């Protein structure tokens, strides 16, 4: 392998020579589309032979706007390549060395021809009409650069739980930054202008497992974003997902990063409060007394408003 073949830029995007290569690979393997696609679907996958067909089938079943589907195989070692090969020219498959989910999504962003990108994780599925409904939302609100919608949370026992966004507004730029509500911006529910996704540098590989929150914040800091209540994606819960403890810690890392770069006092104050809540959440799941104390102390220093809550948690946990 050449020395530069595994290189990834600090901002999570591929170096320019690799982005050109991705575009070339996409042209060679792309599904034939009679018109320029309005939307590019991007599915990153690695070793999901038993799940990826569900995601791909849900994407190919979409009706409405001209659409292309790019699947980035991030170094699968199971039967995933064979599953994808079975779709022939219906999809474009980009195969690459395993560099992680963020780098795989970035390859899809670089290769996309559509005006819009819709992300889909390989273990999720879109409901019928999702793309048409979301594109119609953007046509009604042309100023919105990125949108997300509600999801149906599917439990391992098959139970379906609607998860509408916590907010419902045509323009949530300020409130989204204030609460950093990444739960509304599940990647499989996101549609974003391709040029915007590229302009913010795509997904940062430094935030493994919480890169979606970082991406959403980067977009929302520069452009209007929105959510709407329709539940249009099935979000499947399973053992392979990021645990709640790791997720809270990762979210805290992302918020620290953005807190340092926030330019106005109101945004800093609200992001500081959100960061403190993530630290308290992490403290609840800490393994040791010292770790709990450290997290609660940091939360209280960041946001004095959590001091009473931190004291209550200390009492309930009894530092056991």
Residues belonging to the chain: 320
- Confidence bin at 168 (pLDDT 50/70/90): low
Domain residue ranges of the chain, discontinuous segments joined by +: 16-241, 245-317
Cα(31)–Cα(67) distance, integer angstroms? 10
Look at 8-12, 223-227, 253-257, 290-294 and tell me which has the smallest mean pLDDT: 8-12
Characterize 30-43 residue by residue with b for buried, 16 or more Cβ atoms within 10 angstroms of its Cβ, and e for exposed.
bbebeeebbbbbbb
Q: Report the relative pairing of strands 225-236 and 39-45 from DSSP bridges.
A: unpaired
- Confidence bin at 15 (pLDDT 50/70/90): very low
- Confidence bin at 122 (pLDDT 50/70/90): very high
Is there a contact between 43 and 112 (Cβ–Cβ < 8 Å)? Answer: no
Kindly state the tokens that stand for 164: 């509408």
Cα(184)–Cα(190) distance, integer angstroms? 9
Kindly state the tokens that stand for 10: 């600090």
Look at 51-65, 166-180, 231-245, 269-283 and tell me which has the smallest mean pLDDT: 166-180
Instruction: Give residue 276's pLDDT.
Output: 81
User: What percentage of residues in the chain have a pLDDT greater than 90?
Assistant: 46
- Confidence bin at 9 (pLDDT 50/70/90): very low
Cα(52)–Cα(16) distance, integer angstroms? 29
Instruction: Give residue 8's pLDDT.
Output: 36
Lookup result for tokens 């040791």:
288
Q: Report the relative pairing of strands 67-74 and 92-96 from DSSP bridges.
A: parallel
Look at 185-189, 249-253, 309-313 and tell me which has the smallest mean pLDDT: 309-313
- Confidence bin at 244 (pLDDT 50/70/90): low
Look at 103-107, 198-202, 233-237, 257-261 and tell me which has the smallest mean pLDDT: 257-261
User: Which contiguous run of DSSP H or E holds residue 55?
Assistant: helix 52-60
What integer is the mean pLDDT of 204-232?
Answer: 88
Q: What is the pLDDT of residues 69-93, one digit of tens each?
A: 999 999 999 999 999 999 999 999 9
- Per-residue HEC secondary structure of 197-242 comes to HHHCCCCCCCCCCCHHHHHHHHHHCCCCEEEEEEEEEEEECCCCCC
According to the CATH classification, is domain 16-241 in 3.20.20.70? no
Task: Kindly report the pTM of this predicted structure.
Answer: 0.78
Instruction: Give residue 10's pLDDT.
Output: 36
What integer is the mean pLDDT of 167-173?
Answer: 52
Using CA atoms of 32, 36, 41, 47 in order, give the dihedral in degrees to the nearest 10: 30
User: What percentage of residues in the chain have a pLDDT greater than 70?
Assistant: 74
DSSP 168: -
What integer is the mean pLDDT of 292-306?
Answer: 77
Q: Half-sphere exposure (CA, 13 Å, Cβ side) for 71?
A: 33
Q: State the distance between the two ends of the chain, measured CA to CA, in whole angstroms.
A: 51
Q: What is the pLDDT of residues 22-38, one digit of tens each?
A: 343 333 334 444 467 89
Q: What is the pLDDT of residues 129-140, one digit of tens each?
A: 999 999 999 999
Instruction: Give residue 11's pLDDT.
Output: 41
* Long-range own/partner contacts, residues 313-319 (CB < 8 A, 24 or more apart): 313/280, 313/283, 313/284, 317/284, 317/292, 319/289, 319/292, 319/293
Instruction: Give residue 245's pLDDT.
Output: 56
Average pLDDT, the chain: 80
């Amino acid at each position: 392998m050449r020395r530069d073949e595994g290189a990834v830029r600090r901002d999570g995007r591929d170096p320019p020579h690799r982005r050109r290569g991705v575009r070339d690979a996409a042209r060679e393997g792309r599904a034939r589309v009679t018109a320029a696609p309005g939307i590019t679907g991007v599915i990153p996958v690695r070793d999901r032979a038993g799940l990826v067909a569900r995601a791909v089938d849900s994407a190919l079943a979409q009706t409405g706007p001209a659409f292309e589907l790019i699947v980035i195989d991030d170094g699968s070692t199971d039967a995933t390549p064979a599953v994808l090969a079975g779709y022939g020219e219906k999809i474009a498959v980009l195969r690459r060395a395993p560099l992680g989910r963020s780098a795989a999504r970035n390859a899809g962003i670089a290769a996309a021809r559509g005006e819009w990108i819709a992300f889909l994780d390989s273990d999720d599925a879109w409901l019928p009409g999702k793309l048409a409904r979301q594109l119609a939302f953007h046509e009604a609100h042309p100023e919105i650069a990125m949108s997300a919608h509600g999801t149906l949370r599917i439990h391992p026992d098959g139970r379906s739980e609607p998860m509408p966004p916590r907010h419902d507004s045509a323009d949530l730029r300020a409130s989204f930054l204030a609460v950093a509500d990444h739960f509304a911006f599940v990647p499989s529910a996101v549609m974003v202008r391709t040029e915007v996704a590229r302009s913010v540098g795509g997904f940062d590989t430094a935030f493994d497992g919480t890169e979606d929150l970082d991406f959403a914040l980067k977009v929302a800091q520069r452009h209007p974003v929105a959510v709407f209540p329709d539940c249009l994606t099935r979000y499947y819960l399973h053992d392979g997902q990021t645990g709640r403890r790791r997720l809270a810690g990762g979210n805290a890392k992302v918020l620290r990063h953005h807190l340092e770069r926030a330019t106005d006092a109101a945004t800093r104050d609200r992001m500081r409060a959100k960061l403190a809540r993530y630290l308290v959440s992490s403290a609840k799941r800490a393994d040791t007394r010292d770790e709990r104390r450290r997290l609660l102390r940091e939360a209280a220093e960041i946001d004095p408003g959590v001091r009473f809550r931190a004291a209550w948690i200390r009492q309930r946990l009894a530092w056991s």
